[in-house]
Amino acid sequence: MSEAMRGGPMKPCGGRKPILPPLGGMDDPDSLYHHMQRYLLSLVVRGQSQHTAASAKAALTRFIRWSEERGLAKPREIDRPMVELFQESLFYHRKKNGEPLAARSRQFLLIPVRQWFGWMVKQGNLPYSPASELELPRVPRRLPKAILSSQEAETVLAVPDVNTAVGLRDRAILETLYSTGIRRTELTRLTFQDIDRDRGKLMVREGKGKKDRMIPIGDRALAWIAAYRDRARPELLRDKLDVGALFLNSLGNPIRPFHLTMLTRRYITRAAIGKEGACHLFRHTCATVLLEGGMDTRYIQELLGHASLESTQIYTRVSIQKLKALHTAVHPGRMPTGGMQ
């Protein structure tokens, strides 16, 4: 089998990203392109998020381009061996830096293809799905790269200059991330109506999977949010129309996820604690601190908005504080009371 047919190994490319030609088959209602367009519309109609639809479009566009390069323009021209060849091409593909695609990245590109063909079968466009038996790459469940200790978290929280509007806002943001463990996108969607200070609760609207959840938030985080609301937010808003977003950027607009990543990474770096990370580092830290404090994993699952308990149980592998204490107490190789002898 030729490397051209299987799609690899590809040489790393440099320079600007090439401008790709439009997909073919725009005049043919039975083309891969039009079947993709109808599928993407069905995702929106079924209430899938814009992120899900955009990810599916990117993956299917890649598959259609790959198919067109091999003279395949319609769904019925795709068989199981061709789908497997596409999977193999992803395995051999190399990014600009010469590294292969991670197993998770290949999964993200293959799952939409499998779902798309399954949808076409249900619509009566295909007698069977050539991707129904596609075996996805196995993604290893790795531990978070870093977790902050309580002292390290406090060090990071103390970095922003709270005498400025931006610094006070940033302290309130970091306190909220640390107290609740919410995702960065969830934080950008917060409004004042989502904060229940009297009950110490925070409403996360349309979290992952478009699910709402009510979670606790600590008194200290609430106090910093109140200080930001009274002293910093009016200065950031200036004469802009107030759309109700809780956290604003320096121009008075709702803060964006990318901005959150940049500011949290900057404060972690400036804290000089020898660890790297951004918003998700606080999410990991929040979960680990609560687990070490004795909170049941099912409560942590609800707090983080995990669909499966399996996602939450990874923190039981991170949190070894109690295991270390027991090991020190009962292991025969522990240090004698008098020190080394």
Catalytic-residue membership of 315: yes
Catalytic-residue membership of 34: no
Catalytic-residue membership of 231: no
Catalytic-residue membership of 6: no
Residue 96 identity: K
Alpha helices by DSSP H, the chain: 3-6, 32-45, 50-68, 80-92, 103-122, 150-157, 165-180, 184-188, 219-227, 233-237, 257-270, 279-292, 297-304, 309-312, 315-318, 321-330
Strands 213-216 and 195-196: unpaired
Catalytic-residue membership of 275: no
Question: Of 62, 80, 280, 299, which one is the catalytic site residue?
Answer: 280
Catalytic-residue membership of 183: yes
The neighbouring-strand residues paired with 203 are 214
Looking at residue 340, what DSSP letter applies? Answer: -
Question: Of 315, 324, 327, 334, which one is the catalytic site residue?
Answer: 315
Question: Of 106, 169, 283, 284, which one is the catalytic site residue?
Answer: 283
**85 token code pair:** 């060849």
Question: Of 183, 184, 189, 284, which one is the catalytic site residue?
Answer: 183
Give the rounded distance of the alpha carbon of 325 from its chain centre: 33
Residue count of the chain, please give it. Answer: 341
- Using alpha carbons, list the distances in angstroms from residue 102 to 89, 90, 94, 109, 133: 13, 10, 10, 11, 21
Q: Report the SS3 class of residue 96.
A: coil
- Using alpha carbons, list the distances in angstroms from residue 254 to 55, 76, 198, 204, 241: 24, 46, 25, 16, 11
**18 token code pair:** 């090439």
Question: Of 74, 208, 213, 259, which one is the catalytic site residue?
Answer: 208
Question: Positive or negative CA dihedral for 101, 102, 104, 107?
Answer: positive
Helix, strand, coil share of the chain (percent; to 5): 50, 5, 45
Active-site amino acid positions: 183, 208, 280, 283, 306, 315
